[in-house]
Structure 1
Amino acid sequence: MKLPRQFVPPKRDPVRTAVRTFGEILITLGLVVLLFVVYEVYWTDLVSAGKQRDAAAALDSQWKTKEDPQRQDHFTGLGEGDGFAKMYIPAFGADYEFTIVEGTTPASLEIGPGHYTNTAYPGEAGNFSVAGHRVGKGAPFNDINLINSCDAIVVETQNNWFVYRALPKAEEKAGWAEGKGREAQCQGVSVLGGPYADVIGQQIVTPSDGLVVAPVPGSETAPSAGEQAALMTLTTCHPRFSDKQRLIVHAVLVKQWAKDPAKPTWTPPELKETV
């Protein structure tokens, strides 16, 4: 029996069907990517913020209960993820503060900036090296590409404040002493010589370049005791949302302030160098 005209199903246009299906797939993929971005950037930030608060609270408690009468800092017996110092970058604002933890495993870096375990500790000769995420998981090093030469990186330990300042960038080395090097903020910062002649304030390297955290960054040769400088190195992924390269910042120790038990609320003047 022939169906009435109004009941005859319309013929499907294969091109239109394919376009619609492709569009639905793109929408689905877009939603998946959006959810991933929300998770990676926002949700992991919230999780890491909680872990960072816990680490800071634990460190504050430790500093109050485990005091050394000699007022010496001790970094022995640290376990993966244990907090041992605090880091401030005044140029990023008065609220930039992160507890540095031991180790650079994924679990440690979810807490905050992590110390490369085989490198120096705050204030020591050598290369105190710290890694941190640039996107998500707290993103403590999201803006370290904005660190300029002579910007302060202040590290607080139980008994001391250590002030590191970023070294001159490659394009600033020539004429440093007659140019920016004369600024008051750059006191103690110079173009390094000897075994450190190739060390600059900022560089981009491949992930396999582990020598950036060596005692002399970029070199397999350890300097003699008399030549050894006290450096700090920050490392993070580059560019943002990628791990194809590493962005490196090198700084040099220029000042140490010993804490005075009689002035527990005192902070170094370098913390006021905010913009």
Structure 2
Amino acid sequence: MVLNRRRGNQAAAPQRARRRRPWSWWLGLAMVLGGLGVLGWAAWQFWGTNWVSQRTHQRIVTEVERQWEADPQALEAVRVPEGEVQALIRIPRFGDDYLVPVLEGTSDGVLASGFGHFTGSAAPGKKGNYALAGHRVTHGEPLRQMPDLRVGDEVIVETRGATYTYRLISGGKDLEVTFRDTWVVDELPTNPESGGVQPEQRKGQRLLTLTTCAELFHTDNRLIAFAELVDTEKRG
């Protein structure tokens, strides 16, 4: 009986060994799961964030228009959970239903909710440079079609008190700079490269600058478009 039990144990051991997964199987499983994770992350970045941000745009626009109508004489910005909103942007080149809020600052949270206004740059319609940043891809991508902009296209800035129409004086792909080229948001942008794209070098202008990523995927370069104020229409 003792001999039989020993043989049984010896026969069971190889069977248990055969049931163990080789390390390569686990490595392959980890790679598959990792690949699915990467695909899921990419899907969220390129589709999920757009879905969320576009609905955020709509909610903010609705709230801003409601408050403007309720109190057209108020001076303060409209406060929403994402920040302060002073303006809404229309770009006819991008379609009749294009309407994106402008929030103060250029943090990640702000840019996920609309355009960001460079703090310290001019207010809408005022002398100086009304400088704006927007995503070209993900998070609502308000400037995905930036290269389609042409000289003469309009950027319409709606505020509680007035509607300002700016006209582009450079196209959406006429100027590409690095993220270190902060001169583009100066009060009077002056290109350090002789003969480079820049607004007319005349003080006291009322300018608008659009900035976004130069490529659809990661890049440190930026596309820049300049515009000048051509019309102001009081609201109400």
How far apart, in 2, do the equivalents of 1:137 and 1:252 lie?
27
Report the secondary structure of 1:54's partner residue: helix
Distance in 1 separating the partners of 2:142 and 2:135: 6
Instruction: Tell me the equivalent position of 2:131.
Output: 129
Deviation, structure 1 residue 213:
0.5
User: Residue 118 of structure 1: CA displacement?
Assistant: 0.6
Counterparts of 2:38 and 2:190, CA distance in 1: 38
Name the counterpart of 1:151.
153
1:83 maps onto 2:88 in alignment = no
Does residue 30 of the first structure (1) align with residue 6 of the second (2)? no
TM-aligned CA distance change 1:29 to 1:151, over 3 Å: same
Higher strand share: 2
* Separation in 1, partners of 2:148, 2:137: 15
Question: Per-residue CA shift, 1:48-100, capped at 9, x if unaligned?
Answer: 223222321221122123222xxxx8467979721111111111111111111
Matches of residues 182-201 of structure 1 in structure 2 within 5 Å? none
Report the count of equivalent residues.
219
Cα deviations by residue, 1:119-156 (Å, 9 ceiling, x for unpaired): 01111111001111111111111111211111111111
Secondary structure, counterpart of 2:167 in structure 1:
strand
Distance 1:147 1:82 in 2: 27
Match of 1:42 in 2: 47
Say if 2:101 and 2:114, in contact at 8 Å, map to a contact too: yes
1:240 aligns with 2:216: yes
Instruction: Pick the aligned partner of 1:252 from 214, 228, 233.
Output: 228
Is 1:201–1:250's contact at 8 Å kept on the other side of the alignment? no
Runs of 5+ unmatched residues, structure 2: 1-6, 193-201
Structure-1 residue corresponding to 2:199? none
Larger Rg: 2
Structure 1 stretch displaced more, 200-209 or 156-165: 200-209
Contact 2:167–2:230 (8 Å) recurs in 1: yes
**1:140 aligned counterpart, secondary structure:** coil
2:206 aligned partner, one-letter code: A
Q: Which residue of 1 aligns with 2:187?
A: 215
Deviation at 1:166, TM superposition (A): 1.2
Relative to structure 1, is the Cα distance of residues 130 and 205 closer, same or farther in structure 2, using a 3 angstrom cutoff?
Answer: same
For 1:218 and 1:22, the matched residues in 2 are separated by 56
Question: Counterpart of 2:143 in 1: which secondary structure?
Answer: coil
The code of the aligned residue for 1:245 comes to N
Match of 2:61 among 56, 69, 76: 56
TM-score by length of 2: 0.77
Matched residue SS, 2:41 = helix
Unmatched runs of 5 consecutive residues or more in structure 1: 170-199, 221-225, 262-275
Percent of aligned pairs with the same amino acid: 31
